[in-house]
Amino acid sequence: MDWRGDLGFTDRLRAIQSLTTVYQHSSSTTAFAEAQAEARRCETEAYDQANSKEEYDRLCQQAIDTAEAKFAAPVNNDSKQVQDISHGEYQDLAGSSESSVGETFGQYTSCFHHFDGLHSTIYKSTAKDGAVRAVKITIPHLMTAPHDVQREARLLREAASPNVIPLVEMFNLDGGRLALVFPFLRYDFAQLLQRDMVTAAQTRSILRDMFQALEHIHKLGIIHRDIKPSNILMSSPDGPAYLADFGISWKEEDPGSELSDQKITDVGTTSYRAPEVLFGYKAYGTALDLWAAGCVVAEAITVGHGELFDSGPVGSDLSLIHSIFSTLGTPDEHIWPDVQVLPDWGKVEFYTVPAQSWEDILPAVSSNGRDLARRLLRYQSSERLSADKALRHPYFSTV
């Protein structure tokens, strides 16, 4: 009975809160009060039945896994064609009045500003057939490596597949500008996670689509180099999802790509950057994308959907390294044999920190989801699951 005396009120409340969140995420039809009542029932049952803290934790984890399995039916994505948003919905999203004119790019009129990127501006426009398009305006000669819009277009055409954003057309504009046209997709995965708009089943479906896209491009020898939730697009939380933004992608022998052992290391976005590039390794391969995919998995399945690693307020490499080491433990040559070939390894001395348990890193998530993230987030790139093996992981199994 001693273990119950050591289990504080805060510990039990945390378990109930975690279970409540899981029940809500498992089904979009579950109201908060209903989810909380079920969470309290399961936690009390675990508390009463367990003979130790370990068994209590196991029973709570079992409740989480059961909730996931109960709602594991896949989202119906039989049609893998991009569904364009209707003109009426586009007008609502654009927030424009009927009197607004917008800009014109080629055949695309009434183009309304949607988003500013580092080297491009995205507009929303309606084509003559009524389909809503995303028109990406770039100035190629002002781009700095590894950004290359011509290479982006080449690789997009080569990578055409059900889960890669289709390039509708490309055309030149005055002033040396280049326009790339895509279907306009209302959501990105980051928005859905931040707004808590996806269930466990929808999350699983979106992640499956991401890995299917990665499996396809990796077979072609393409490294995306910027995997993150905001580059996964869809017209509905039900999917299908499409991998987008190939602006810094790489393929050997492509005219715009670096030599295979001299790749640019300033790739990826802040907290999704793999440890090998943080230490200057230029001969990285497709496993670079799989580390980032592991970060996406962790973010997608965790309560609150926060980023797993923290690069600090200004996106510092040292802050990110500290965050990774504090979470996964400070590696050595036994854990990470490749440190011997990392150009910047040893330039800074780090405190030796033990790895956290994955149960502490990703608490209150399904066992299968936690294991998928664990198998992707390995220091040694050769130990990371490939995209095709990730797709065969039990997390994507249905009941």
Residues known to be catalytic:
226
Give me 396's structure tokens.
Answer: 């994507």
Looking up tokens 């715009």, which residue turns up? 256
Segment (H or E) for 293: helix 287-301
Other Cβ atoms within 10 Å of 353 Cβ, number: 13
Outline where DSSP puts E strands in the chain: 103-105, 108-116, 120-126, 132-138, 169-173, 177-183, 187-188, 222-223, 232-234, 242-243, 250-251
Largest CA distance in the chain: 78
Other Cβ atoms within 10 Å of 104 Cβ, number: 11
To the nearest 10°, the Cα dihedral for 214, 219, 220, 222? 40
345: three-class secondary structure by DSSP = coil
Give the Å distances, CA to CA, from 264 to 138, 235, 289.
21, 33, 14
